[in-house]
C-alpha cells in the first residue's frame, strides 16, 4: 500500500509538471513554429503587386489567431522579448523565462526549417529565406535599432496591458496583438523589417546563414522589454502592478 501511494504521488507530480511546465513550453514551441513558418513563407512567396500588405496581414493574423487559440495555456508570448516584458510586469515567473526562451527559439528554428523545405530553391535565395536583410549599410543601423525599439515597445505594451494588467485586461487582446504586428510591418517594414521578435530573426538567420547586423533584432526588442517593464511598474500599471504611488 505504501508503494501504491508513492506511485500515485509520483504520478500526481508528473501531471503537475506537465500542466505547469511541459504544456506551456510545448505551446510556446508550437506557436512560435507556426508563426515563423507562416511569416517566412508570406515573405518568400510574396508577389510584387501588394507590397508589404500581404506579409503584414499574414504576420499579424497569424499571431492574433495563435494567441486566441493557445494564449490561455502559456500566456501567448511566442517571442522572447514579450516573455521578458511579461516577466518584468508579473505575468510570468522568473523560473520559466529561460525555458520559454529556449522553446521559442527552437520553435522559430523548426518553423524556418519547414519553410525552407516547402519552398523552391530559387524563391528561397531571392528572398534570403525571409531573413532580415533590410539593413545593409552601417548608416542604416541607428534608424533600424530605434525602429525595432519603438515598435517592440508598442507590441510588448499591448501584450502586457491587454493580458496581464488587471485594469486594462481585454477580451479583444488577440485582436489587438495581431493589429500591433500588422501595423508595425506597415510602419517599419522598409526601415528595419519590423521584426520585434528575436525568435523570428534567429531561425531564418540560421537557415540562410545571414548574420549581418543580426544583433539589431536582439538588442532593439530586448531593450524595449525593459522600457515596458519600467513604464508599467512605475506609471501605467494598476494598484497591484505598480510598485510606487500606491495606497498603503
Residues 47 to 106 in contact with its own copies, rule: CB under 8 A: 47-58, 60-62, 64-65, 68-73
Give the number of C-alpha atoms closer than 13 A to the C-alpha of residue 171, restricted to the C-beta side.
0
Determine whether 73 is exposed, middle or buried from the number of CB atoms within 10 Å of its CB (0-12, 13-18, 19+).
Answer: middle
**Which range binds its own copies by CB under 8 A, 39-47, 92-100, 195-203, 205-213?**
39-47
Q: Please state, in angstroms and rounded to a whole number, the distance separating the CA atoms of residues 42 and 134.
A: 16
Our CB check for its own copies shows the closer of 37 and 100 to be 37
When binding is defined by CB under 8 A, the residue of 183, 223, 227, 230 that contacts its own copies is 183
Q: Please state, in angstroms and rounded to a whole number, the distance separating the CA atoms of residues 36 and 114.
A: 9
3-state secondary structure of 140: helix
CA 132-24-183 angle, to 5 degrees, is 35
219 binds its own copies per the rule CB under 8 A: no
**Which range binds its own copies by CB under 8 A, 11-19, 91-99, 125-133, 201-209?**
11-19
Q: Quick one: DSSP state of residue 22?
A: I
Residues 107-166 that bind its own copies (CB under 8 A): 114, 117-119, 143, 146-147, 150, 154, 157-158, 161-162
18 binds its own copies per the rule CB under 8 A: yes
27 binds its own copies per the rule CB under 8 A: yes
**Which range binds its own copies by CB under 8 A, 38-46, 77-85, 94-102, 216-224?**
38-46
10 binds its own copies per the rule CB under 8 A: no
**Any idea how long the chain is?**
248
CB of 241 to its own copies, least distance (A): 12
228 binds its own copies per the rule CB under 8 A: no
54-58, long-range: CB within 8 Å, 24+ apart, which pairs? 55/185, 55/189, 56/181, 56/182, 56/183, 56/185, 56/186, 56/189, 57/182
175 binds its own copies per the rule CB under 8 A: yes
CB of 202 to its own copies, least distance (A): 20
Give the distance from CA 61 to its chain's centroid: 13
Our CB check for its own copies shows the closer of 11 and 98 to be 11
Amino acid at each position: 500500500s505504501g508503494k501504491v501511494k508513492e506511485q500515485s504521488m509520483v504520478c500526481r507530480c508528473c501531471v503537475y509538471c506537465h500542466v505547469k511546465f511541459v504544456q506551456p513550453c510545448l505551446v510556446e514551441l508550437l506557436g512560435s513554429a507556426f508563426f515563423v513558418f507562416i511569416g517566412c513563407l508570406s515573405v518568400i512567396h510574396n508577389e510584387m503587386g501588394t507590397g508589404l500588405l500581404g506579409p503584414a496581414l499574414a504576420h499579424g493574423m497569424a499571431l492574433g489567431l495563435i494567441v486566441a487559440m493557445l494564449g490561455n495555456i502559456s500566456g501567448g508570448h511566442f517571442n522572447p522579448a514579450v516573455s521578458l516584458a511579461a516577466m518584468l510586469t508579473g505575468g510570468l515567473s522568473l523560473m520559466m523565462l529561460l525555458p520559454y526562451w529556449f522553446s521559442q527559439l527552437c520553435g522559430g528554428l523548426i518553423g524556418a526549417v519547414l519553410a525552407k523545405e516547402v519552398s523552391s530553391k530559387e524563391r528561397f535565395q531571392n528572398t534570403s529565406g525571409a531573413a532580415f536583410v533590410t539593413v545593409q549599410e552601417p548608416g542604416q543601423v541607428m534608424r533600424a535599432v530605434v525602429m525595432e525599439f519603438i515598435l517592440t515597445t508598442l507590441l510588448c505594451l499591448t501584450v502586457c496591458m491587454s493580458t496581464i494588467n488587471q485594469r486594462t485586461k481585454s477580451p479583444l487582446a488577440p485582436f489587438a496583438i495581431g493589429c500591433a504586428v500588422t501595423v508595425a510591418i506597415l510602419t517599419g517594414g522598409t526601415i528595419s523589417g519590423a521584426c520585434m521578435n528575436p525568435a523570428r530573426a534567429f531561425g531564418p538567420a540560421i537557415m540562410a546563414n545571414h548574420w549581418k547586423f543580426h544583433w539589431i533584432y536582439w538588442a532593439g526588442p530586448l531593450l524595449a522589454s525593459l522600457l515596458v517593464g519600467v513604464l508599467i511598474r512605475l506609471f501605467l500599471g494598476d494598484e497591484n502592478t505598480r510598485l510606487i504611488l500606491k495606497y498603503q
